[in-house]
Every structure is written in structure tokens, then in C-alpha cells.
Amino acid sequence: MNVANTSYPVNRTENVPDHSLVPPCQDACPLHMDIREYVGLVSQGRIMEALQVIRTGNPFPSICAYVCTHPCEDACRRSQVDKPIAIRSLKRFAVEFGGDRMVQAEAETTHAEKVAIVGSGPAGLACAYYLKKFGYPVTVLEAHSELGGMLRVGIPQYRLPREVLDIEVKRLTRMGVEIRTDTRVVSLDLLFELGYKAIFITIGAHQSLRMGIEGEESPGVIDGATFLREVNLGLKPSLGRKVAVVGGGNVAIDAARTAIRLGVKKVSILYRRTRAEMPADPAEIEQALEEGIDIRYLVTPTKVKRENKRLNVTCIKMKLGKPDESGRQRPVPVKGSKFSEQIDTLIAAIGQAPQTPDDFGVRIGKGSTIQVDPNTLTTNRAGVFAGGDAVTGPATVTEALAAGRLAALRIVDYLQHRYPLPVKEAKEKLSGDLLPETIEMIKKIERAEPPSLASEVRARDFEPIELVYSWEQAINEARRCLRCGVGVEILFQDKCATCLTCLRVCPYHVPHLDASGAICIPADQCQACGICVAECPAKAIVLRKPFDRRQVNDELSHAIKSAAELKNKPLIIGFCCQYGLFGTGTLADLWRGAGAGVSIVPVLCVAKVEASHILSAFETGAEGVFIAGCGEQCARENTTYWVQQRVAKVRKVLGSIGLEPERLQVFALGTTTEDPVEELDKFVEQIGSLRLASVIKGEVKS
Amino acid sequence: MIVAEQKPLEDIIRMIVPYERVLILGCGTCMTVCDAGGEREVSFLHNALQLAQARSGEGAHTFSEHTVKRQCDPEFLEALGEKTADVDVILSLGCGIGVQAIAEYLPDMPVLPGVNTSFMGMTKESGVWDERCAACGECRLEDTGGICPITRCTKGILNGPCAGVKNGKCEANKDMDCAWILIYQRLERLQQLDKMRRYYPPRNFRAIPRPRRIMSKAETVTGESNG
């Protein structure tokens, strides 16, 4: 026999580049994180690798895992089917189970140009992290006694535990970032004189906006940012028994929930519009309501008067009028609806603005923000960059991190006298909604919310309220991902015989004929199940990602290589789905529990195992082959059916060359009542006896 | 479309015994559509033959594979180029026409048929094909409402239905619709039942001179001056 010389056909897919599209989640993320990739890794139980992907795209994933406002989830197309993937909770799971706290960041200083970062909020810390990684000496200057900016003084501890922030700060220190707290910068010239070659201003937006009503200066009226800062820095302001918070943003909600945790009996939020217009995160609003906070809509205070050590607040009811420039309906006072109320403290949280010292000499624009070039973050002064809330006005942590990263890249360009190259999007974006006929066929799987503390427990103190998924919960949640943009394409139009097989086998009705009679597989509808790839008689269809195209072959040859050392034992090859149940540990159990001589080829859904793969497994000397899928639990449609079709085809071949068809088995381990390990043991035993029989037969013949 | 099915593996193994180096050649047109000899089937057969050889320990074949767009046109066979240089035989997964086209194109190369060419038909559903035309050369579909009694009636009778029809099904196979009942129903829908009343004389079974040839181009007399 001469297998070694066999000339296999040239694999035309080998040098085809990555044709996957940028999914909506990634596009929506200010940091442009590869969300689809890490959610996919979580669904396979590959948590360390998921964390690696997360860390590549995010300097402080643990912080984001707590406080990100997850624009990715808002963009998630799964919401067209049922509910979006719980991306932030999955990230939280990955950083906790992957051990993000233990990750060591190292950096060497390879350049001499010093960079000063004014402000240590998320933008400043991110900029410091990346500049240090690029080898620049960095100094972070912070006016307060502790680092973190809004992360420390703005966000309440129940949303972001301080040890998470401390770990990140420690990591930066270990990387060699110089940190100077209690240092308020008043002049940039001084910094340049001290030898800093570039400065990044990221002083945040800490100055609360005034309500502009009578009596605003009275004792007992405090602004939201100041209140949160005091509490977060360890003070315990006395608030009395009854507190009202004015505003509808996240700061208002944070202030109200902080107040209730300080023991205030009655906390209400006064908001001049309705819940639909409230800019705060809906989940936070929900949690605030659960904690007993009273939100009063269409109400605004008009006058505050201090009487008998209490506040007499006059309010007026509002109604929604015509839309204003922000597109929201403008609230209009209802005549004669004034009413008064006695409270102890009024917290005004109606917005914040940056406060930049005049001596910085940077140009200030609308809303007291620093004016910069949005692509380079340069200000009007040479070598001075700015970013974060100081430039955008109050925004999110993730946006600030993105600004910090951009600043680091641009500062490096500046220091190396390079013209900043425009960031070119290498990949096409996936756009378009799912079609109704596709949505109808997608299995509805409920979104699993991570556990959280009960509302009555959590309102007592500042313990973090959101808990982490269990292993199985996280994996099942991650499996819901539709894998937008990594579907299939007809790579070889010249090979396509327009046989319509893809159109007929697709469970989601995605392929269709265009007016000229050519088959189209729209990328925005494909669910990447891979059935058509295996069924295409012309082999014209491939998965868009090179990794996905090679996966089964690569894993198979790996399994064969590692099994090569086993001798005198029935070699069994099992194609096992790595998603779902197998990711939750069943696969690992199989691995450990399997008798000697069983090699497992992990595949990303058994629907991608082609008849040829099964034959190849036998060809390498396997005495038995099994395919184990998730059965009913598979997140995709019809996968078991197609596996059975291919198995039937291979069994026919086995029969005609004198091998028993029982050597090939299918297990739907997701549904079986039997213990998978036991079932597998039975199969191993059976193969052992078949092999013995064939050896005897062979000897009798000779 | 021409429909075929792959020959049983045992037959193929037997056929290739005398030859060492075998090129498995697929066809990218009809044989791809009917799952008998497209690129996927070529590589599946390749795997199967190698497995058979490894298991039996007999034979010392080396296999290679290739698929051309269409075997029945010699221009596509030109793409084979050097691929035939180091082979002893071509195992064609084209229809009978493809096999002959290769034989004609490569006079010194033995060609083996890897499929049994079966009929002209259509896809009923994914993986199921039905015969629809017998290429009788004398189409009567005008009279039968677009349903061919030659292929779809077991007897191929021209004045049906026969007495063997029962509940609209054929006596030869109770799962099979009687073609003539189908014809009746369709003519009724088209309000052309008068066509049922006509008598169609027996087909002329005189031997059709084979092979048939169709020319769509005008014949010009050689040597004639065109101007």
C-alpha cells in the first residue's frame, strides 16, 4: 500500500483570507472588542482563552465587567429573536473564572520621552497602561488622595467594588507607572519645564450643573457629584429621614441608591419627564425600584426654602410637549399644579460639566468641554492631548477607556514624529436585520440573568449586588450567540452548479436565488450552522473564517498524532461537540472516563463533521468511530438529522468493505438518560470484541 | 438533467484492480447536482477506496482526484493537462456521455465508469430524483397536459388509464400515482378533457437509427463561394 504517496487534491481554501464580518456588538463597543470571539470561547468552556481575547481588547476588563453600560447588548441581533446575549455578565464570568486578578502585566521602558497624565480616571489609567506597554515612562497626576477618578469618587461601591479598582492600580504600579496623588495640576507649562514631552488631560466632568431655582444655595441642598464623592471617599453625610433626588440619569439613580444604603427611610427621585425618556440604564432603574426608591415622573422643583431645619420644596407637575433638539419631548409645566413638600435633603443630579483651569491654556468649547481633534485628540497646544469626560461631557467608562487608548496611540505617533495614520477598517461590517423567516426558525432560548442579591438584603450596605454565573449557566448563555458574520459564503462561484442543495438543506431559509438565477447566501442572515458546507456537492461553500474551515481537519490530525503512541488497543475516534453540555464538563468527563484508546476530536457542532471526515478517521486505523452531539440541546436546527444522514452513507461504505456498521455510532448525549461515560464504555467494549473477531477471522483465512 | 447513481463500491474496487494509479474524475454539472459525481463525491470515493485498500491489505493503488466543469465537452477536458500524465486509468464519475468524451479525448487512456447513468429527471426533494423524460424523440406532452405517460406510466401506454388503476394508484406499485389519472385531472383543470376522448395510435416502434444527431447550424456546401 502506498498511502504516503497519495496525491491529495490541492486545498483551494488554504490561502483564502478571513472573510468574516464585524458583528454589530463589536461595532457598537467603544473599545471594539472581539465579543463574538470571547462569547464563543466561553460557550466552549475555554475560559482562559476567552479572558485572553478580552484582555487584548480591554486594559481593565474587570472594571468593565462590573460597570460597562454594554452598548453591545443594545446592538445584539439576538434581541430580534428573544433577548440579547448577556455579554457583560459573560465577561464578568470570564474575568472571575479565568482569574483576571492574577494576570501579571509587565512592561519595559524603552523610550526616554516622559508623558504626564493629568487625571486618573478610566481614560487616564488606560492611557497610562498603553503608553507604559509601548515603553514610555508615564506619570499619573491625581488631585484626590486615591486613583480612579469617577471610578473611585463617582461610581458607588455596590456597583464597582473598590478592590477591583485597587488591583488595576496595583498592576499599573507594578508595570512601572509613576503615580502622584494629592497633586493638583494648575499649569501645564510647569509640567513641560519638568521635562514631560507630552501631556494628556483627562480631568473628567466633576462640576455639577445648577438647577437655577430659588434657594438652591440653602444648606441641605447638595449636588449629586459632590454627594457621591463624599460618600465614596469615606464620609458619611447626614441626610435626615427624607431625601429627594432631582434628575433622571445614572448619577441620580446612583445618588438615590447610595442614600438608601446610608439608612435614609424615604428616598424619591423627581424627574421632569417620564420613564421612557429617562437616560439612566433601565436595569439600574429597575433595581432602584426594587430597593424601594420612589420615582416620581413629570415633576420638577421650582423653589427651595429652609424652614425649621428642614427643606420646604415647591414642585410643579409637568406634561410632555413638542420634541426639543434632543428629540425628546420637552416638559412643560402644568398651570396651577404646584405643591409643596417637607424633606430633609435635596440632591441635585441634573448633569455635570468639566472644569478646566484657565492656566491650562486649552481651547474650551460647548458645555465647558475641551476642544480636540476627534481623530488625534490634540488640543490647540502642541504636545497637549485631552480625552474622556473632559472632552465629551459625562459619558461611559468604556468610552473613556477607548479615548485613553486612542490618546496613547496618538501620543506615541507624536513622540515619534509620525503622521497619525487614519484607522482603516480592514473588515466589512455586518448590517441588516434578521428576516422574519430566519427569526422564526431560530430556536428561542431564554436569556439567563446572573444571580443577584435580594433587594431587601442589598439596600442595607454597599456590597456588590450582581453575582457571577455558575459555569453551566454561563456556557448555556454564551451558546445563544448567533455568531453574526462568521457564516458561510460561496467562495467558488465557478464551482457552484446551482444545484440548490444549500437552499434546500438550510434550516433557516437563508440561501435564495437572485433574479439572474444565481444563488446568494446573505451574510446577515446566515446562522453559521455549517450544514450546507458539508452538504454542498460541489464543495463551493466554505465558512468565512479560516479557523472554522480547518477546525475539524486540524483537530482530527492532532488526535491521530497523539493517539499514534497507543498500541495494541482498539483505537476509537470520537467527534464530540464542544459547545454546550460538552463545554460544561461532560466532554472533560468523557475524556477522563473513556477507556484507553479513545481519542476525542472536539468539533464546533457535529453538523460540521462531513462524511469524508468519518472515513478519514477509519482510514487512519480507528477500529470504531462515534459522533456525540448535544441532541435536543443543540442551539441550531436539524443538526442531528444531518449527522444521521452522513452516518448512514458511511455505514454503507463500511458494509461494502467488510466492516461492521456498528463500528460507527451516534450519541445524542444531551438527551440520553444514560450516563455518557457508561454508554461510551459499552461502545468501547463492543469495538474491542469486533476487533478480536476480525483478528480471528484474519488468522483463519491465512 | 441527467441523473445517475454511483456504482457499488465493490464494483469499483473490482474494476480498478488491473491499474495502479487511478485518477478519480468528477463532473461539475449534472453529476454534481444529482450527488453522484461532484467534487464532494469524488473525495468521498477517494477516502472510501483508500480505506478499503488499507483494510483489506490488498492492492497497491495510488489515487488522485480532480473535478472538471463538464466532462461532455472536450474543451473542459483540456484543463486536465498534466494531471493525466502519471495515471494508469481514469475513473470517471461523469455520466455515460462524459466517459465516452474522455475516451475520445484521450485515445491511449483507459476510462472506467464510476456511475450508472440512470435517467433524465428532476429533483423531487433534497436527495430524491424522479424520472421525467425518456428521450423518445416524439414528444406528446401537448396532448397529455404536460405529464409524460411514456415515463410515468409503468406500461407507457398512450390511451390510459388501464384497468389496473385503483384509487388513483398503479397496480404495479400502490404508492405510485397512475399517470393517466394525473393526466385526466390536469386536463380537467385546463378544460381540455376532449383530449382524453381522442384515440392515439400506437407508437411507431421502428428502430430509431442510432446514434441520433441534432444539428442546429446550417450546412454549407464546401467549396461554395460565399461572395
Nearest CB partner across the interface for B54, out of A1, A8, A500: A1
Question: Residues B148-184: pLDDT tens digits?
Answer: 999 999 999 999 899 999 999 999 999 999 999 999 9
Q: How many CB atoms lie within 10 A of CB A582?
A: 27
pLDDT of residue B191: 96
d(CA A158, CA A169): 19
pLDDT band at B215 (very low <50, low <70, confident <90, very high): confident
CB contact under 8 A, B126 and A612: no
Q: Which residues in chain A have their CB less than 8 angstroms from residue B64's CB?
A: 6-7, 9
For residues A473-491, give the mean pLDDT. Answer: 93
Q: A639: which 3 cell numbers? A: 443538526
The answer to whether A624 touches A690, Cβ cutoff 8 Å, is yes
Chain B residues within 8 A of A538 when measuring between CB atoms: 28, 32, 38-40, 67
Closest CA to B90 of B104, B116, B109: B109
Q: Phi, psi at residue A542, to the nearest 5°?
A: -135, 160
Q: What is the DSSP string of A316-379?
A: EEEEEEEE-TTSSEEEEEPTT--EEEEESEEEE-S-EE----GGG---B-GGGPBP--TTT-B-
A619 lies within 8 A of chain B by CB = yes
Sign of CA pseudo-dihedral A452, A457, A459, A460: negative
In the chain, the amino acid numbered A298 is: L
Residue A1 has a pLDDT of: 35
Q: What is the mean pLDDT of chain A?
A: 89
Backbone angles phi, psi at A541, to 5 degrees: -105, 135
| Alpha-carbon A565 to chain mean position | 41
Under an 8 A CB cutoff, do B51 and A653 touch?
yes
* A 529-548 → B contacts, CB under 8 A: 536-539
pLDDT value at position A367? 86
Choose from B21, B43, B84, B128 for mutation: most chain A CBs within 10 A: B43
Residue pLDDT, tens place only, A186-219: 999 999 999 999 999 999 999 999 999 999 999 9
State the Cα–Cα distance between residues A697 and A665, nearest whole angstrom.
23
- Nearest Cα residue to B46 out of B62, B27, B34: B62
Q: Do B66 and A6 touch (CB under 8 A)?
A: no
Q: What angle do CA A345, A347, A348 make, to 5 degrees?
A: 145
- Give chain B's domains with CATH numbers: 2-119 (3.40.50.2300), 134-207 (no CATH)
Q: How far apart are the first and last CA of chain B?
A: 43
- A26 vs A54: CA distance, rounded Å: 12
Mean pLDDT of A495-510: 94
Could you report the per-residue pLDDT of A279-328, keeping only the tens digit for each?
999 989 999 999 999 999 999 999 999 988 899 999 999 999 888 887 77
pLDDT, one tens digit per residue, over A18-59 is: 899 999 999 999 999 999 999 999 998 889 999 999 999 999
- Smallest Cβ–Cβ distance between A538 and the set B32, B47, B55 belongs to B32
Residue B78: its pLDDT value, please?
92
State the pLDDT at residue A672.
54
Cell of A406: 486612542
In the numeric block, the cell 488622595 is attached to: A145
Give the cell for residue A424: 482603516
Set of cell numbers at residue B27: 463532473
**Distance separating alpha carbons of residues A651 and A662, to the nearest angstrom:** 8
- At residue A6 the predicted structure's pLDDT band, cuts being 50, 70 and 90, is very low
What is the overall mean pLDDT for chain B?
92
Interchain CB distance below 8 Å, B48 and A616: no
- Return the percentage of chain A with pLDDT > 70, whole number: 92
Among A340, A332, A408, residue whose Cα is nearest residue A111: A408
Pick the residue from chain B with its C-alpha nearest to A505. B126
Contacts of A347 (CB under 8 A, 6+ apart): A221, A222, A223, A224, A227, A243, A244, A245, A246, A252, A255, A256, A259
Determine the Cα–Cα distance for residues A623 and A253; give it in Å rounded to an integer.
64
pLDDT at B57 over 90: no
Helix, strand, coil percent values for chain B (each to nearest 5): 30, 20, 50
Query: Who's near A393: CB < 8 A, 6+ residues apart?
Result: A205, A352, A353, A354, A367, A369
Residue pairs spanning A and B at CB distance below 8 A: 95
Place of cell 475524556: A591
Question: Which H/E stretch holds residue A644?
Answer: helix A639-656
DSSP strand E in A352-507: where? 352-353, 384-386, 488-490
Identity of the amino acid at A675:
D
CB A627, CB A574: distance < 8 Å: yes
Query: What would the pLDDT profile of A643-672 be if each residue is shown by its tens digit?
Result: 999 999 999 999 999 899 999 999 876 555
Q: How many CB atoms lie within 10 A of CB B105?
A: 18
Q: How far is A691 from chain B (nearest CA, A)?
A: 12
- The mean-pLDDT minimum among A340-349, A421-430, B87-96 falls in A421-430
Using the structure block, give the residue that is written with the C-alpha cell 390510459: B160
